[in-house]
């Protein structure tokens, strides 16, 4: 630890603070401000309400299956990336030597290479857990669609209650997927740490601003608001 540069400690804390801070900020804002999460929550409730009034629910099952395949792709990709990082950790000394020869201006590659790779590995462990939990929750949503009663036999209050509960399960699955995807975005910022610690801190801010723009000011959001 004596050889561990304190600016790197500050950079890691900065990275974690922005990641956690933005997650809490987005979660709180989504309750009161129109954003992607807010609008999609409303659309999922409408979807479940329409599903209850349909006799044939194959389209709803197919849509859930499509969402599961998307999440499954990211979960598998996270495992492959994690396997590659673990392999790289075992050969961190050789990787550091190659990088020093190719880019001798990099920051203290020898001392921190293994730690940086481990840090990235922990991020992808988190993403894998989020994607697999999202996958399971989409499965729960599929069960609710399969167990859905005939909407024509329900009162208005019962119809709305079931639609809200089913939409909430699917919404939680989407949140878990979003957390995993957000972790991948921040892992791209962490790649800048291999070049320069100051670039790492700057890249973290840029990633945060990009995500904030997409969540609260994107064209996709405006389109959802107009539907």
In a domain, 157, yes or no: yes
Nearest CA to 44 among 55, 68, 60? 60
In a domain, 81, yes or no: yes
In a domain, 217, yes or no: no
Q: What is the pLDDT of residues 48-105, one digit of tens each?
A: 999 988 888 899 999 999 999 999 999 999 999 999 998 888 877 777 677 666 666 6
What is the secondary structure of 23-58 as a DSSP string?
Answer: HHHHHHHTTTS--HHHHHHHHHHHHHHHHHT-S--H
Spell out the residues 6+ positions from residue 47 whose beta carbon is closer than 8 angstroms to its own: 60, 167
In a domain, 185, yes or no: yes
How many structural domains does the chain have?
1
Residue reference for tokens 């857990």: 129
In a domain, 92, yes or no: yes
Cβ burial, residue 102 (10 Å; 0-12/13-18/19+): exposed
Encoding tokens for residue 194?
């291999």
What would the mean pLDDT of 127-140 be, rounded to a whole number?
96
In a domain, 209, yes or no: no
Structural domain harbouring 87? 37-194
pTM listed for this prediction:
0.89
In a domain, 79, yes or no: yes
């Amino acid at each position: 630890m004596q050889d561990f540069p304190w600016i790197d400690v500050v950079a890691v804390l900065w990275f974690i603070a922005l990641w956690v801070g933005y997650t809490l900020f987005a979660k709180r804002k989504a309750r009161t401000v129109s954003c992607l999460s807010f609008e999609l929550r409303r659309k999922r409730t409408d979807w479940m309400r329409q599903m209850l009034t349909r006799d044939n629910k194959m389209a709803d099952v197919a849509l859930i299956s499509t969402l599961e395949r998307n999440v499954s792709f990211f979960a598998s990709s996270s495992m492959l990336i994690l396997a590659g990082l673990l392999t790289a950790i075992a050969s961190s000394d050789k990787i550091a030597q190659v990088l020093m020869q190719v880019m001798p201006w990099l920051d203290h590659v020898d001392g921190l290479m293994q730690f940086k790779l481990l840090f990235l590995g922990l991020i992808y462990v988190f993403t894998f857990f989020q994607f697999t939990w999202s996958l399971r929750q989409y499965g729960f949503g599929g069960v609710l669609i399969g167990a859905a009663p005939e909407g024509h036999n329900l009162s208005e209050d019962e119809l709305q209650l079931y639609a809200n509960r089913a939409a909430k399960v699917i919404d939680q699955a989407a949140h878990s997927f979003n957390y995993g995807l957000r972790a991948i975005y921040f892992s791209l910022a962490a790649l800048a740490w291999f070049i320069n610690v100051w670039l790492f801190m700057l890249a973290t801010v840029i990633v945060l601003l990009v995500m904030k723009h997409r969540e609260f000011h994107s064209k996709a959001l405006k389109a959802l608001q107009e539907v």
